[in-house]
Chains A and B, each alone.
Chain A
Amino acid sequence: MNLQVLSSQFWSLCLQGVALGFIYVLISLGYTMVYGVLRLINFANSEVFMVGTFATVVAQVGILQNQTNSQPLHGFRLLYTLAFSLGFSMLICGVLGVLVELVAYRRLRALGTNRLASLISAIAVSIVLLETTRIVTFSRPQTSPRLLDKWSFGEIAGANFRIDTVAVIVSGIVIFFALDRFVTKSRLGKAIRAVSMSEENSKLMGVNLNRVVSLTFFIGGLTTGAAAFFYTTVYETTQFNVGFNLGLAAFTAAVLGGIGNLRGAFYGGLFLGVLEQFASAILGSQWKSVTVFLVLVLVLLLKPNGIFGEAVQQTRT
């Protein structure tokens, strides 16, 4: 146990935690959007994330294939490489999310089966995606090219504002608030909220339920794909089983905040990111997962609606 870091690295751990937290937030949104509409935990989302990390690698390697030196990029070339791989990962994950719903859930919904059937179906899809990737990649980790020259904006109170840290945080904020705005203001966003309150009532408004469900899976895929891009760009490596820990952590974050509402995912993700950083620093990184899942168990036992569940119930998606 190392309590000294609490004083020596406090702000640095906070900053790193917030950056990691935003990756969790973006994945959590994938769980929470779907849960809000279908009351279904889309366990395949963790593997959608995993596919997104590979999509990011593929896009970045693809763009840079003619470049022999592995120097960080600059200027316009850097911007469009980042933008393209971000867009590619988001799109792949969005489309994959829609496909997962079509293949694994839609028919079960039409048959009116109970949620357990969908849950098993979700696990099956996860295994298919996981094992396929394992086979295709020969279980080897894939590295993405170094794109960013990781310079720093400077240090405040020991916290190092490195470009990738700042980029993740800023993008996370932008994506979260864009989504929040879409859901509260736009016509389709209202349809999503309407379905989350009452499927039947929404049908009476002329809402095409299947289309809203597809849209929800698509949006959940987009945010998860963005998370996959940031993860890969920051850590520069991925592996077929990357979805397991990150997916479960993001799911924990969603439950922690109160699954089904966007703000819950936001606070839950940030809280968990910071908690994880402190747990690693104080107890050692091998205790990181233990801490995260201990929190999940405690939340489920003590406050099954999530820590922020009651307060944000009104603002559910």
Chain B
Amino acid sequence: MIDSLAPSATNALEISRVSKRFLVAGRPSPVLGGIDLRVRDGEFVSIVGASGCGKSTLLRLILGLDTDYDGDIRIDGAQVAGPGLDRAIVFQDHRLLPWLNVRSNIAVALRHSALGKGEKAGRVDELVKLVGLERFAEAWPAQLSGGMAQRVAIARALANRPRFLLLDEPLGALDALTRLRLQNELLRIVRQGGTTAILVTHDVDEAIYLGDRVVVMRPDPGRIAAVIAVSGAESHDRSAPEFIRLRDRILALLGVVRSEADASAGHGLAPVA
């Protein structure tokens, strides 16, 4: 066990023994039960799990939207006390403000920026270009497709060059083709900016394809079942045997399919509803 009191230089984000309860119908119901996770600078961590395993809740805690929990979440050793511009989030629903056009939606994120007016406009142009929406810079959100809207949301999240990019099932509501295309784009954007990314998803393929590590979570209460490092050979080709083997292993950990390992080890994991 790593000593959680001595933050190591390479661990940018340290989550220690984090538990969280929600009140459900008047009585406390645990959503997170003792999460321990270290994330290094520049790493891409995917978190997979069935709905209800608390993975989105964990993101909200890291973001600082909710500070009512037990345990510690530290960035460079300092406790997270609230939202900060070093962390940005992309929600599953793009949450673009319908009354602002694409440029203004991105510019909202720059309110606190120290940049001057002209520099802000330049930064917005840069971001619009980064996500390939130059032709739609003045369009309203209602005029965009789901994929385009999510690109704008990604651009908005990147506006302040956050150290941590938190992705809460950002591609979950998109069609399969758009999702594949945006996965590649996300990878390019994150690598290019050297951002540390934490992606919550229920798509195991996506988790493997994008993540340097895959954190597998199980529900009731949400906890980490396994953390699996993904090698380059495993992640690059979705149809490679290594990729498929890893996917099956993760699906088994999620209780969706039974692997030989489970069968022989005798855990009869029930399928997750």
Mutual binders A and B = no
